Amino acid sequence: MCSQQKNIHPVFHFMLKREDREKLIGQRSKVLWMTGLSGSGKTTIAIGLEQELYRKGFITQILDGDNVRTGINMNLGFSNEDRWENIRRIAEVSKLFLNCGIITINCFVSPTKEIREQARNIIGENDFIEIYIDSPLEICEQRDVKGLYSKARAGSITDFTGISAPFEPPVAPHLIINTDKLSVNESINKIVDYLLPLIVIK
């Protein structure tokens, strides 16, 4: 433990409770954790989901891999250690939004079971909704709007998930969204149908 830890004095017990904030804004907060290969549709679905929830009167926040890496995690690379730290920071930020009553929509490859379990442990089992955005590798490569797969195939990107680094599908996600079979709207509606009973204050 850092020697400075003894000088840290958290004041969480003096602060407003999550339930107070949820009551104020009229919703229950949850963290949606979308995992899947690059190009599977995570960000597209998240943007559409945010718009649909907004229309229904809910307050959300999207945390997307590329956006986060241009800000809070701009100093991190893609080594195993940096991937772990990337997800740890995201989970801690998600927990802050959770305590504010905000529904957080996360879009991260988060390729291994262990790394997603780290996020689940930080956020909490009851508030962590794991959504597997499932699309075959060949479909993701066809989409490849960022040109990442072609660069990975050419060797200019190393440790790229799905090509030179493994992706471990979730064992028991709350939802599986097959984006090679469902349209974007169908995918969004499936998530909304699952989520509404969890976020509506009765």
CA distances from 125 to 4, 32, 174, 185 (A): 30, 12, 12, 28
Nearest CA to 35 among 103, 128, 107? 107
Residue 110 known to be catalytic: yes
Q: Is 41 left (phi over 0), alpha (psi -120 to 50) or beta?
A: left
DSSP 61-76: EEEEHHHHHTTTTTT-
Report helix, strand and coil shares of the chain as percent, to nearest 5.
Answer: 50, 15, 40
Structure token pair of residue 15:
């602060």
Beta strands in 29-118 (DSSP E): 31-35, 60-64, 103-107
Catalytic pick among 29, 40, 110, 135: 110
| Residue 45, C-beta contacts closer than 8 angstroms, at least 6 positions apart | 34, 133, 177, 179, 184, 187, 188, 191
How far apart are alpha carbons 162 and 136 in whole angstroms? 10
Would you please indicate which residues are annotated as catalytic (active-site) residues?
110
